[in-house]
Structure 1
């Protein structure tokens, strides 16, 4: 029986790019996202191009009942997951109290609770089986607060700190944990969050394909934190030199200017 990589948010953006990069290296896949038609098409294409086994599961991870159903199915079907990639996530922009609460709750359910639930369920199975790897997707925004994107920055800070803690807890049980902190990337994230991407990095944004290539390459070293690209590493390092009040103000100014209005 093949050993699979399970990738959430696999129908587009970083999740799709990571799925392709892993399939190119002969990795069998389980793709998870909300869009059944897109998933089915992607699964067929990757299987044909790279000759790997590609399964897919339709699931809205922000819905607790659907998430529980996915976890139950994974427990029952006996698939051996050797790599979990938590890529699914959304953002929101604007003053927190002016946002629709349904959207903010969906963000927390998806970015935080679904990720933690899958790490708990699949991480346990990995430890029982003697090994595996978890890759969680945070963001460089996890490294500092972000007014006018407060929920998003906070959710990614959770992912970063949770992943680092989990790494220490599981390394003695054969499970490797890394967290990816990408900078601005050429995906639909900005449009869906109501942001102007040019306010972040303009033409210097990394493509999801380049990001995926660098990430998969970095995983061979088993780093705790992956920040692909020297610009992103520089931007991640600079806030450490400034007082926190200044970092808050600068991040808030950038985010506020980027909100589409």
Structure 2
């Protein structure tokens, strides 16, 4: 049975960079995103560059019927997923009560519900097949509350704590679970979340998706539980453990409000 890596949110950003890094290592891929044209182009390019099989499936993870269809297809196929990368996610900036509820609901469906469902369904297959690996993508935002991006920060806190709990449950059963918590990255995330990168553009916290992907792949090979690329980001994640909660809230609110347009 052929082995594959399944990557969600694979059409850009970290997902695309991870796809390239893993293809470079000879891994067969199944790329999942909403943009068919982008996926088709990426699949062709990676196949030509690295000589590996790259499949793609279009799926809006916020749509339960589409996600069910994807999982049904994977279940019926003879392809074994031995690495699941839950990278798909969306952001939302601004005062929570002033946001459109449909967007906030979609954020929860993609960042939380789809991720949990993929872990449940493909995790069961990994158990049946003798093991595998799961990488869930959170953020350094997961370590603190974040006013003006409250729903996003909370969704990433879920991913962090869920992943660490799952690692303890499955570690003795042949499934390795890791969680990636990157800091700010030069991707289209900021534009889609309606944020302005502003003062962060020149920050030494800012990394490229390619840097994050390379660090992550190496950490996966070592079965690291918590993956935080960049020593500055590791310090940023550590800070909330020692500072008073009121100060953590205030600092995050100040930073995030500075990212809002106008």
- TM more than 0.5: yes
Contact residue 33 and residue 58 of structure 2 kept, 8 A? yes
Checking the alignment, whether the CA contact within 8 Å between 1:200 and 1:254 is kept in structure 2 is: no
Q: Which residue of 2 aligns with 1:208?
A: 209
Q: CA deviation at 1:201?
A: 5.3
TM-score by length of 1: 0.98
Q: Which residue of 1 aligns with 2:61?
A: 61
- Separation of aligned partners in 2, 1:170 and 1:235: 29
Q: Distance in 1 between the 2:105 and 2:253 partners? A: 21
1:58-137 residue pairs with structure 2 within 5 A? 58-137=58-137
Report the Cα offset of residue 240 of structure 1.
Answer: 1.6
Q: Deviations over 1:41-68 (max 9, x none)?
A: 0001101100101000000001111111
Separation (CA, whole Å) in 1 of partners of 2:58 and 2:241? 41
CA deviation after TM superposition for structure 1 residue 2, in Å: 2.5
Equivalent runs, 1:1-261 vs 2, <5 Å: 1-200=1-200, 202-204=202-204, 205-261=206-262
Distance in structure 2 (CA, Å) of the matches to 1:196 and 1:238: 24
The answer for unaligned runs of 5 or more in structure 1 is none
Q: Within 1, Cα distance between the matches of 2:121 and 2:199?
A: 38
Indicate the SS of the match to 2:6: strand
Query: In angstroms, what is the RMSD of aligned CA positions?
Result: 0.9
Distance 1:191 1:119 in 2: 28
1:101-142 Cα distance to aligned partner (Å, 9 max, x none)? 010001000000000000000011001111100000000000
Query: Please, which runs of 5 or more residues in structure 2 have no aligned partner?
Result: none
Distance 1:232 1:37, change over 3 A: same
Tell me if the contact between 1:184 and 1:201 (Cα under 8 Å) persists in the aligned partners: no
Task: Report the secondary structure of 1:200's partner residue.
Answer: helix
